[in-house]
Structure 1
Amino acid sequence: MEPAIRTHGLTKRFRHGQLAVDHLDLTVPAGSVFGFLGPNGSGKTTTIRMLMGLIEPTSGAADLLGHRMPRAAGTVLPQVGALIEGPALYGFLSGRDNLIRYDSADATADPRTRKARVAQALDRVGLTSAAGKKAKAYSLGMKQRLGLAAALLTPRRLLVLDEPTNGLDPQGMREIRSLVRELADDGSTVFLSSHLLDEIEQVCTHAAVMAKGRLLTQGPVGELAARARGRLAVSTPDPGDAARILKEHGVTDLAVTEDRVTGEPPAAEQDLAVLNAALVHAGVRVRGFGLERASLEDAFVALTGEGFDVAG
C-alpha cells in the first residue's frame, strides 16, 4: 500500500539561519499508529507544519495520502484530521458550538447530519456533560479533548495529533490511548507526536526518533527497542558486594537497591556466565541474574544521549 506519509529530503531553514529540519526521509505505513519522538527543539512540530501545508519547506518534498503537499492541500486535507500545537477555540462559545463552527467550515461535511456527528464526537472524547459549557471555562485537558473531537467530526484516512494527551490526567490518557487504538482499528492511520515514551510504547506500532532536526531511526516499535542493549539485573541479598564485583568487571551506570543491582553491561563482548561466576566466587548470593529487555526509553537515550520525560 502507498504510505500515508512519505518525505524526501524534507528540509526547513528559517530566515535567521536555523536549520530546523535537515533532509528528513520519513515513511509512515498506511494503517499504522506512528509515534514521532524527539527532545524539545528536535524539529517535530516544524515537520508536522510542513506536512500539513502550514509552512513551505526550504527544499525536499512531502507526500500525504499519495499527493504532494502543499500543492494538493485542497484534495488531501479534507481526508485529514489534525490537532497541532493545541486547539484554536472560540472562548465565548460552548464546546458544542465550537464543533458546529468547525464542521460548518468543512465543505465536504453533510449539514443534515451535523448535530448527530457533533454529539458523537463529544461522546468519544468524554465531553458530553460539558458540551454546553463555554470553552473559556475549560481546563487545558478539556480543551485538548475538544480539539481532538474537532479532528473526529468525520471519518478521516489520516489523523495528525501533536501532543494529544497534553494536560490530561492519567485516566484521560488511558481514554485517549484507547480511542487511538479504536481509530486505527477503524482503518485510520494515526501520526502521533508525543513526549511520553511509555504512551508511545503502549499504543504505537511504528515510531521515528528525531534530534537536532535529523532523523535518527524509524521502524516498528519492537525493533527499535530491540536494537538497544538491555540492562544487566542481579537479584541478591548482598547488593553492596555485588555492585563492587560488577564494577570491577566493567559494568557501569550501577543502580543499587535493597536486594537488586542493575547496570550497563561492559561494552566489550563478555560472556554473562563469566560475570555470574565472578559473583558466586566472591561469595555473593545470586537469586536472579540476566539481561532485562530494553525499552523504547533505552533506545531513545542510546540514540540521542538525552533523558526524556517518560512519566508525564
Structure 2
Amino acid sequence: MNATLTGEGAHEAAPPPLAPAASTGDCAIVTRGLTKRFRGGQVAVDDLHLAVPRGAVYGFLGPNGSGKTTTIRMLLGLVAPTGGGWELLGRPMPAGLAAALPGVGALVEGPAFYPYLSGAANLLRYDAADPTADGRTARARVAAVLDRVGLSAAAGKRYRAYSLGMRQRLAIAATLLGPRELLVLDEPTNGLDPQGTREVRALVKQVAAGGTTVFVSSHLLAEVEQMCTHVGVMRGGRLAAQGPIAELRAGRAPLVRVLTPDAARAAAVLERLGLSGARAAGEEAVAEIGDLPPERACAELVDAGVAVRGFTVARPSLEEVFVGLTGEGFDVEN
C-alpha cells in the first residue's frame, strides 16, 4: 500500500469485495452501505452512502463520535468494514487498494515525525518508505513539495522547532511527495492558531486548484465554508445530508434576525406570528421567515414595543444548517 499515511493505524483483515456497480467515474470516493460495528455491538458507522465528486473539496462534518475518523480509516483500508463496500478513484475496494493508493495522500489523526530530524530529512524517510518512488530523484521531490507548502527556508530546521502551522504544512507536504489524485485530511487545522489555519486553508485551495480532489474532516465550520465546495454531515454514524454547500444552504428556509436588547420579547412576537424556530440568544432573536412579508414582521415587532436595532433576512449559515440537521451545536472533536 503506497498512500502516504501520517499518524498511526493497524491494518485489519480485508472485508469481502464490493459487488459490481454502475459506473462512478465522476466520483473520487463512493461508499455503498458502509458499516462498522465494534465488539459489544457498538455501531460507529451505519449504512453510509457517500459520493465525493472528482475535483471537489469535500468537508466531512459531524459531532463527537459521529464516525468521521472510523470512516476515513475504512476508506484507506486501515479498518475493515463489517458491511457494505466502497470505491476509491473508480476502483472497487479492497481488491483495488494496491492500484488506487499510490494516487492517494492521507493525513490521519495528526502528523508523526522525528523531532530531532529536519523537515527535509523527515520527508526523505517518508519517501524512502514508498516502494514505487525512484530514490535517485528523492531529494528533488522533497525540495519541490517543501517549496509548494512554503517551507523551503525551513527545510534544514529540526522538526521540534517548527510551529504548529509549519508542522501541519510539513504533514501535507508528505502527502504530496507523489502525484496525487485524492488527498484525505483528518482535521488538518486542529489546534492551529488563526495564522496557521489560514496557511493550511490556502494550501488546500492551492492543491484543489490543480485538479486534486480533497476530502477534509473538520469541526471548524467557518473554515469549511470558506474552503469546501461540498459537505457531508454525519450524525450518530449516519449521513444526515450531503451535497454542494450552496444547495444545502438554499434548501433551508431564510431566517429573520432581529438585533435588539429585548430578544426574548422579540422571539415571542415572532412565535405569535407563526414563524418556526423562533428563539433568542443574547441580543438577537431568530426565526424562519416563511411566507410572512419581512416588513410586516418588523412592523409587528415595533408595535409590540420591541426596540429594533437591526433587522435582516438571509439564508442560514452552514453552522445553522448543521444545527438544523443534527440538533446539536458545533463544539465537536473527532
**What SS does the corresponding residue of 1:50 show, helix, strand or coil?**
helix
Matched, 1:91 2:153: no
Write out aligned runs for 1:1-312 (5 A).
1-234=25-258, 242=266, 245-246=269-270, 248-249=272-273, 252-255=278-281, 257=283, 261-265=284-288, 270-282=292-304, 289-309=311-331
Counterpart contact for 1:33–1:206, Cα < 8 Å: yes
Q: Number of residues paired by the alignment? A: 306
Counterpart contact for 1:228–1:298, Cα < 8 Å: no
* Distance apart, 1:229 and its partner CA: 3.3
**What SS does the corresponding residue of 2:78 show, helix, strand or coil?**
coil
1:53-92 deviation digits (Å, cap 9, x = unpaired): 1111001001000112222111111110110111222334
Counterpart contact for 1:161–1:193, Cα < 8 Å: yes
Matched letter for residue 189 of structure 2:
T
User: d(CA) in 2 for partners of 1:98 and 1:174?
Assistant: 24
**What SS does the corresponding residue of 2:26 show, helix, strand or coil?**
coil
Counterpart contact for 2:266–2:285, Cα < 8 Å: no
**What SS does the corresponding residue of 2:321 show, helix, strand or coil?**
helix
Percent identity between matched residues is 60
Partner of 2:13: none
Counterpart contact for 1:141–1:166, Cα < 8 Å: no
Gaps of 5+ in 1: none
Partner of 2:21: none
User: d(CA) in 1 for partners of 2:188 and 2:126?
Assistant: 18
Q: In 2 relative to 1, CA 242–26 (structure 1 residues): closer, same or farther, beyond 3 Å?
A: closer
Greater alpha carbon shift after TM alignment, 159-168 vs 243-252 = 243-252
Counterpart contact for 1:52–1:69, Cα < 8 Å: no
* Distance apart, 1:5 and its partner CA: 0.3
* Distance apart, 1:189 and its partner CA: 0.5
Q: In 2 relative to 1, CA 279–103 (structure 1 residues): closer, same or farther, beyond 3 Å?
A: same
Greater alpha carbon shift after TM alignment, 78-87 vs 283-292 = 283-292
Counterpart contact for 1:56–1:70, Cα < 8 Å: no
Q: What is the root-mean-square deviation in Å for CA atoms of aligned residues?
A: 2.5
Q: In 2 relative to 1, CA 103–275 (structure 1 residues): closer, same or farther, beyond 3 Å?
A: same
Q: In 2 relative to 1, CA 60–238 (structure 1 residues): closer, same or farther, beyond 3 Å?
A: closer
1:95-126 deviation digits (Å, cap 9, x = unpaired): 21110011112222233332122122223333
Greater alpha carbon shift after TM alignment, 230-239 vs 28-37 = 230-239
Matched letter for residue 96 of structure 1:
A
User: d(CA) in 1 for partners of 2:150 and 2:26?
Assistant: 34
